[in-house]
Amino acid sequence: NARITEKAARAQAQNAYLFDVAVSATKSEIAKAFVKQYKHKPTRVHTVTLKPKSHFRKGILSFGPKIKKAYVYLPKGKTIEVM
């Protein structure tokens, strides 16, 4: 899923697109899925795994979901339609 945020909009100026991906996904799997869906080969893929946030609920420590983001970079001049 494409991640639509202000930070993602700024990244599009550098031909980088931001996506939410499965935590178990690898960079090569992300690149293959990107080519299959958008028909463009990315120049590089960076991934960021976000630590789950902790919070107390009724005195019990619990954690939010673990999230992984992928920055997919395209060659200059290539663009995709995110929405």
Percent of the chain with pLDDT over 90: 67
Determine the average pLDDT of the residues in 33-62: 93
Among 67, 63, 56, 76, smallest CA distance to 16 is for 76
Residue 46 sits at φ, ψ, to 5 deg, of -110, 140
Residue with tokens 């550098």: 14
Under the banding of pLDDT at 50, 70 and 90, the label for residue 17 is very high
How many Cβ atoms sit within 10 Å of the Cβ of residue 32? 12
Least confidently predicted of 27-31, 35-39, 79-83: 79-83
In terms of pLDDT, which residue wins out, 28 or 1? 28
Under the banding of pLDDT at 50, 70 and 90, the label for residue 56 is very high
Contact 4, 82 (CB under 8 A): yes
